[in-house]
Amino acid sequence: MDDSSKVQLDNSKEAKQARHAWYLYDFGNSAYAAVILLAVFSSYFKNVVVGGAEGTRLWGWAVGIAAVVVALISPILGAIADSSRSKKLFLFIFTSISVVFTALLFFVGPGDVVWAMILFVMAEIGYRGAQVFYDALLVDVSTPKTVGLISGKGWAIGMLGGIITLLIAVVPTQIIGDSFIPYTFLLTAAVYAIFSIPTFLRVKETSPVIPIPENESLVSVSFKHLGETFKEIRNYKDFLRYMISFLIYNDGIMMLMDFAAIIGGTLFGLGQVQLMIFVIIIQMTGSIGALVFGRLSDSRSSKRAIVFSLVALIASLTGLFFIKDMIGFFIVGAFAGFALSGAQAVSRTMVSQLAPEGKTTEFYGFLSVAGRTSTFVGPLVFGALSYNMNNYYLSIGNTPHVAEVLGLKWAIGSILAFLVVGMIILLTVREVTASDPMEYNRKKKIEE
């Protein structure tokens, strides 16, 4: 790396404290992702609360419902946050919702299908909604030249939160058995709550505040601001192409995250402790991937980093059709975790590079619309394809287990399709760097 590509961080005490506090939030909410989405609750819901292929289908519905709610509200809340410098307030509200309802999952038992779906949907709305405002705070703790590195570090440190939480949970689960599983939900809520506190104390919102004219209110100005962005969106063609790309490849990423435990348990017979160990491994490789691709984003470009990560992820998932044992699954998972975390970390960096000044949180809201809508479509496609193909294979005489395995392989194929199509569209987006940033001259474009 030459001198021109080296990144200089602001090492003032206040800036360092803000960055470290921002990192710690990722540490806390990654415990939710690791335990609730990846390793424990998804498997618990499918196998204990519901059971069989129906559990996979209903899990897809639960994830999708939460995604739609967040997709509908996040752009409006983002506009209000831009107008009032209230990103931290909304972050606090959504974090509190997620923490409370994650803790309430402790009371879910076998057969509590409706209760489990309601509590999970609320926890997921809180988690996904908070992510919009947490991501938007990235511009308050970084500069255009350091945004990739800091985003990558946040993701890497966040992975440690998932790893440590699972390490705390795995030993008692091994000793006590599955009866300890509900206590992991209380542990997750506690970690999430505790490690979110520094962000509220140390991070300051520095983005410009949109002034409120006389005879206007915060809400009316926010809606007008959002409306202007929708009207001007035709000028943001690269951003639109990126959103379409993200909409599609994020489907594959979120489908993989939401159904990883179900895939491991069904295809390779992983038990709860083995699933925890598997997620610990992919979190470890994911932290490395976030750092590697974050640096690549700063030294080359975010677009290039995402493309490389998607190629690696596609290659890893293709391996699922050829491996036959648990060891192979762990190896594939390690590579997939490395690539997946890189793509996620750099995706939020690219938004900050494509967003016009003063509309950063709104553009993260648009990212949320794309991401959460895709999170709705993806799980439905995965769950429906797996369920319907399972029924087809049952109808031609296969055993229930064989039918479920074959149905899941069709669903895995749909993940690959989303990743490939999304990457192809991404290749059409302009390559933006700190030295060659995106600039929007609205007046000139409108006149043209």
Residue type, 7: V
In the predicted structure, residue 426 carries a pLDDT above the cut 90: yes
pTM, rounded to two decimals: 0.77
In the predicted structure, residue 259 carries a pLDDT above the cut 90: no
Report whether 66 contacts 121 (CB < 8 A): yes
In the predicted structure, residue 373 carries a pLDDT above the cut 60: no
Residue type, 327: I
Share of the chain above pLDDT 90, in %: 35
Q: Mind listing the pLDDT tens digit for each residue in 102-125? A: 999 999 999 999 999 999 999 999
Mean local confidence (pLDDT), 223-244: 73
Q: Choose the most confident range, by mean pLDDT, from 65-74, 212-221, 314-323, 366-375.
A: 314-323
Q: Mind listing the pLDDT tens digit for each residue in 168-181? A: 998 898 888 888 99
* DSSP run (H or E) holding 205: none
- Residue 172's contacts (CB-CB under 8 Å, 6 or more residues apart) are 180, 183
Neighbours of 10 (CB within 10 A): 13
Q: Mind listing the pLDDT tens digit for each residue in 234-245? A: 677 888 888 889
**Residue-level pLDDT at 64:** 81
Q: What does each C-alpha distance from 85 to 72, 75, 78, 401 come to in angstroms? A: 21, 15, 10, 53
Mean pLDDT lowest among 46-60, 142-156, 255-269: 142-156
d(CA 129, CA 173): 30
Mean local confidence (pLDDT), 248-262: 86
Mean local confidence (pLDDT), 270-281: 90
Place of tokens 């004219």: 213
d(CA 254, CA 415): 9
In the predicted structure, residue 317 carries a pLDDT above the cut 60: yes
**Residue-level pLDDT at 2:** 41
**Residue-level pLDDT at 443:** 41
d(CA 423, CA 255): 16
Chain centroid to Cα 3, Å, comes to: 33
Question: 86 in helix, strand or coil?
Answer: coil
d(CA 117, CA 131): 21
Mean pLDDT taken over the chain: 83
All structural domains of the chain with their residue ranges: 13-204+217-447
**Residue-level pLDDT at 446:** 41
Place of tokens 């926010």: 222
Residues in the chain: 448
In the predicted structure, residue 208 carries a pLDDT above the cut 70: no
- Return the half-sphere exposure (C-beta side, CA atoms, 13 A cut-off) of residue 214: 0
pLDDT band, very low/low/confident/very high, at 354 (cuts 50, 70, 90): confident
**Per 3-state DSSP, what percentage of the chain is helix, strand, and coil (rounded to 5)?**
85, 0, 15
Report whether 22 contacts 141 (CB < 8 A): yes
d(CA 359, CA 130): 18
CATH of domain 13-204+217-447: 1.20.1250.20
Quickly list DSSP for 223-248.
HHHHHHHHHHGGG-HHHHHHHHHHHH
In the predicted structure, residue 323 carries a pLDDT above the cut 70: yes
**Residue-level pLDDT at 182:** 94
In the predicted structure, residue 54 carries a pLDDT above the cut 80: yes
Q: Which residue has the higher pLDDT, 84 or 36?
A: 36
In the predicted structure, residue 437 carries a pLDDT above the cut 80: no
